[in-house]
Structure 1
């Protein structure tokens, strides 16, 4: 006798691409999942200070079926979008079953040398999502029957099949960190490897805060951007200038109407290193409230439905208010009896 028809099913032959994308936001143990007719969204957060999310359009999958649940009360009510939480660590372990042998695969996010991996791939002439890096792709099928049911994962490759049911937990529809796209104080696009190299260099000082400073162009100087890291060991800065005469400028686009200065907790920015290593380009934006948006463009293979062959990994970070940066810098290096 046939079982109930699942509310959601999706099949992909790019399970390793999905694994690498989800690792970009694996700084948290739990992830919120939101399913819709347009695609599936995974998001993680660090308190109210940072959030990251990946939206996979249905074109990413070779097949995608979504049957919305019935209205909660009357026919006039729109169907509730399924939202639940899963253990992201367990999902990554499941997807990594068929991952090629890689000493980095078992490392925790904080131990992953994304900069070294990027340089290795670059010198080898491949990128993180190329066939050389991924090998043969397995088939991965997701199913979700409805509220309270587990997220089913069925993987097969070379005659080996693995089935896993991940427990789902109730989740409220939380508000995103507000970012005003109509009030942009800074916008720049650069190669993601450039930002990764800068953050890796600044990490050598074991900083606690990162200040983003930008100023508009003038007759005497070109537009410039500076990343300044500070901590108990001192401070270090990486400067970028816009040189229109350069054939390959570091900053492909730069928009800054007036001087900008915003400070963030360095550990939050560092949490995006996996995304920096996987992406081709990054759009860095600051709104007038100082909220930072990092949008990483990652090349992927589109499903049979077509698509643009790209996925976006988004981070939003809340700035430190006046006095907070000095506070965390002053506490850095101090020991307590609790540690």
Structure 2
């Protein structure tokens, strides 16, 4: 008698795997990820060194179709003291470990789930140019995908189709690793900004790759103590936004956001003024400065290159949140609504240096 076929509890489809592959590459700095499936979408999480955690959020409406059916676990009737997080934890969901690199290899099985960005440092302009050239050569072929999962112990199944050819990939699932309890509490937020990703990308391009740490400094818009230096190195170069460098010209526009990369060979600074063309949203309740490992900033570069906008938030304890908005709908017709997903990085600060960096900034 044949064994019963497991009942699918997840079925999700996308018409083009390239945006999905681009998003997952942003997390591919660890071999394994934790995948969590719920009625409202999928969350994929990786972490490094117990000090940085990255998660990709794919909402159900970012798929062409999405169905998740799992019976809710038995639980007592909710009481007035039951909070929303408890309700979320008790909602039907499944969680397992998976090889992210294997998923990416499967998505690229027909060879066209190519990178839409990635890498870091001076590689970025070349990679972006390569992608633009690739799109010009696009022959219209795309790989569609159907993803399914049938419960604990079962593989994650990907059915990939291109030009009538279908390939089935069964990816082994594992017991999930225990993730650190790292979450951004918006009630403790002291700063928030939203900007086009290209502006932050340009700044990161200027950072010395030999730097050891990066300081993020913010000042309230009406109380910005830092003079504006669009780019400044140990030679203290100054220049107006979008203009040529001039060693002798002082620009008296206050800076409300400064990046400072610090290394053995000196430091590099990039400043942003209170300009709506650059910072779409800016909120800062008190002067804030924290330093972070430069290596952790490098891990965000693939998400940064793939994204169109980025939100940066800082909590009272220095926890830094990057939220990257990444298109996942590929090309859309005029008037159609583009689908997006979000990749979030939570980065713990180098606490010992935070107060000293702020004091040094105020003395300049």
TM-score (norm 2): 0.76
- Whether the 8 Å contact between 2:218 and 2:287 is mirrored in structure 1 is yes
Which residues in structure 2 correspond to 1:75-90 (within 5 Å)?
78=90, 81-90=93-102
Out of 237, 245, 267, which is 2:295 matched to?
Answer: 267
Out of 212, 218, 222, which is 2:222 matched to?
Answer: 218
**Hey, what's the Cα distance between the residues in 2 that align with 1:56 and 1:112?**
30
Pair 1:318-2:348 in alignment: yes
Which residues in structure 2 correspond to 1:196-275 (within 5 Å)?
196-202=201-207, 204-218=208-222, 222-243=254-275, 249-275=277-303
**Hey, what's the Cα distance between the residues in 1 that align with 2:214 and 2:139?**
34
**Hey, what's the Cα distance between the residues in 2 that align with 1:214 and 1:270?**
21
* Per-residue Cα deviation, 1:156-182 (whole angstroms, up to 9, x for no partner): 111222211111111166454131211
- Whether the 8 Å contact between 1:118 and 1:278 is mirrored in structure 2 is no
**Hey, what's the Cα distance between the residues in 1 that align with 2:20 and 2:123?**
20
- Whether the 8 Å contact between 1:83 and 1:171 is mirrored in structure 2 is yes
- Whether the 8 Å contact between 1:115 and 1:196 is mirrored in structure 2 is no
Superposition deviation, residue 113 in structure 1: 3.1
Stretches of structure 2 that go unaligned for 5 or more consecutive residues are 79-89, 224-251, 357-364
**Hey, what's the Cα distance between the residues in 2 that align with 1:23 and 1:134?**
23
* Per-residue Cα deviation, 1:213-239 (whole angstroms, up to 9, x for no partner): 111233785452110011122211111
Superposition deviation, residue 136 in structure 1: 2.7
- Whether the 8 Å contact between 1:282 and 1:295 is mirrored in structure 2 is yes
- Whether the 8 Å contact between 1:291 and 1:317 is mirrored in structure 2 is yes
Q: How many residues align?
A: 312
Superposition deviation, residue 183 in structure 1: 2.1
Stretches of structure 1 that go unaligned for 5 or more consecutive residues are 327-339
- Whether the 8 Å contact between 2:112 and 2:142 is mirrored in structure 1 is no
RMSD: 3.3
* Per-residue Cα deviation, 1:56-94 (whole angstroms, up to 9, x for no partner): 1111222222121463x6787956521001010111111
TM-score (norm 1): 0.81
Pair 1:186-2:191 in alignment: yes
Structure 2 equivalent of residue 329 of structure 1: none
Superposition deviation, residue 134 in structure 1: 8.9
Higher mean displacement: 294-303 or 310-319: 294-303
Task: State the SS of the aligned residue for 2:205.
Answer: helix
**Hey, what's the Cα distance between the residues in 1 that align with 2:283 and 2:297?**
21
Out of 292, 300, 310, which is 1:282 matched to?
Answer: 310
- Whether the 8 Å contact between 1:60 and 1:303 is mirrored in structure 2 is no
Structure 1 equivalent of residue 68 of structure 2: 66
* Per-residue Cα deviation, 1:286-309 (whole angstroms, up to 9, x for no partner): 1111111111112232899x9762
Larger radius of gyration: 2
Q: 1:37 to 1:200 in 2, by over 3 A?
A: same
